[in-house]
Amino acid sequence: MKSFSILFFASLLWLAPAAGQTADNSEARKARLHANLLFLFPQLEEYQVTIGQFEPSVVTGMEEGSFVINGQQVQRFLTDPQDETLYMIAGGPFNAGLSSGQIVEMKSAREREASAEARDTHEKLLAAVAGMPIKGPVNAPVTIVEFSDFQCPYCAAAVDTLRKVVARYPNDVRIVYAQFPLESIHPWARIASVAALCAAEQSEDAFWTLHDSYFAGQKGLTKENVLEQSRAKLTRTGIDLDAWSTCAGDPTSEGYLRANTAIDQSIAIGSQFGVGSTPSFFVNGYAINGAKSSALFMELIERAKKEASE
**Mean per-residue pLDDT pooled into runs of 10, the chain (310 residues):** 40 42 84 88 86 87 89 86 87 78 91 95 97 95 98 96 96 97 96 98 97 97 98 97 98 98 98 96 96 95 92
Question: Parallel, antiparallel, or unpaired for β 142-148 and 86-88?
Answer: unpaired
pTM: 0.70
Q: Name the residue type at position 106.
A: M
Look at residue 92 in the predicted model and tell me its pLDDT: 64
Q: Are 206 and 231 in contact (CB under 8 A)?
A: no
d(CA 285, CA 117): 8
Listed in sequence order, the DSSP H helices in 59-203 are: 100-128, 153-168, 189-202
